[in-house]
Amino acid sequence: MIYNKYIFIFLLAVFTFTSVKAASPHGKDFKVDCATCHQTENWESIKENGFNHNKTNFPLTGQHKDVSCRKCHSSLKFSEAKPECATCHSDMHEATVGRDCERCHTTNSWIVNNIRQIHQQEGFPLLGAHNTADCNRCHSSSTKLRFENIRSDCFSCHFAEYESTTIPNHKAAGFDTDCSRCHNMNGQNWAGTGYNHNFFPLTGGHSIDCNSCHTQGYKGLSSDCVSCHLSDYNATTNPAHVTANFSKECKTCHSINAWKPATFNHDSQFFPIYSGKHKGEWNSCTDCHANINNYSDFTCTNCHEHNKTSMDNEHRGERGYVYNSKNCFSCHPQGKSD
């Protein structure tokens, strides 16, 4: 009888222990040893530095170190707590910036310290005047905590400046609304211009005010020199471009830096005057081209007339020799004596 009593007590203890274990408030899959967190005197006495949260997928950093466990674990089934910020924190931005709070915030503070980096990642770096601009000028939502997706093109914020600008009048001229074509984002004001004029380099003599060329607006302007410099072409008399029927392709003789000195490529196309024996032996075009109305005419004997006797003697017996300019050139096309 006594033996049966002990068996009963043992089975009751086993049953009680099994029931208590199955009824654990942390769930049947919770594998952590009870003694890790609980004191032996009382289940509600939790060890201050018991469970090591850093071994989980959610280490306690920043302000999370001081938060009561029940703040996040409202249920004692710890597996029901989710690691996403929005599980515990209300979305004050009302879903305007996404659900990834860690893009802007840290566990130390809600203060955002990487605003410039965020803008860089979004494709709109805060350069120049944008670096010190008031956020609300661009993010003009009804609440300062809402950041709706806004356009990043300049015109979306600066259309008023575009329409009110008169020097030059952007709207009347039909200027491109891509402000960055002319204005530099690194600058502190609109005066920092940097229009890409590479199709017609503004160097040398063309480093001038825009209106000097764009007298009739900014569309349809020809890049041909003569479209701006026809009056210069017509008025030039030394040599007379019109009567000599010079080419209107100004860059054939002139550089973009200045009208003078003109450097017509005489050596390779006609007769070497910048090299060889004739280099430095002339002062102006008219030394050889006496007829300024026709530059196909030229004379050699203007300079070589005093050598006629010696030339006659030197060419004595040369078949076809005649002392005139055309014959001189036919035998000496490079100006050489042999």
Convert the pLDDT of each residue in 239-253 to its tens digit. Answer: 888 888 888 999 888
Contact 91, 99 (CB under 8 A): yes
Residue 142 has pLDDT above 70, yes or no: no
Please name the residues in contact with 288: beta carbons below 8 A apart, sequence gap of 6 or more: 273, 282, 298, 299, 300, 302, 303
Round the average pLDDT of the chain to a whole number and report it: 82
Residue 321 has pLDDT above 70, yes or no: yes
| Residue with the larger pLDDT of the pair 28 and 22 | 28
Sign of CA dihedral 239, 243, 246, 247: positive
Nearest to 96 by CA among 158, 52, 139, 138: 139
Percent of the residues in the chain that have a pLDDT greater than 90, as a whole number:
7
pLDDT at 62: 92
Q: Angle at Cα 215 formed by Cα 209 and Cα 221, nearest 5°? A: 95
Q: pLDDT band at 174, cuts 50/70/90?
A: confident
Q: pLDDT band at 23, cuts 50/70/90?
A: low
Q: Give the range among 5-14, 96-105, 161-170, 260-269 with minimum mean pLDDT.
A: 5-14
* pLDDT tens-place string over residues 192-240: 666 778 888 888 888 888 878 888 777 778 888 998 899 999 998 878 8
CA 144 to chain centre: 30
pLDDT at 42: 83
Nearest to 298 by CA among 330, 326, 265, 269: 326
Residue 1 has pLDDT above 70, yes or no: no
> What average pLDDT does this structure show over 154-165?
90
* pLDDT tens-place string over residues 50-63: 788 888 888 999 99
Output the pTM of the full model: 0.47
Nearest to 182 by CA among 212, 152, 161, 205: 161
pLDDT at 134: 85
Q: Give the range among 9-18, 89-98, 252-261, 311-320 with minimum mean pLDDT.
A: 9-18
Sign of CA dihedral 204, 205, 206, 207: positive
Residue 65 has pLDDT above 50, yes or no: yes
pLDDT at 141: 77
Q: Give the range among 132-141, 186-195, 230-239, 315-324 with minimum mean pLDDT.
A: 186-195
Q: pLDDT band at 2, cuts 50/70/90?
A: low
d(CA 123, CA 113): 18
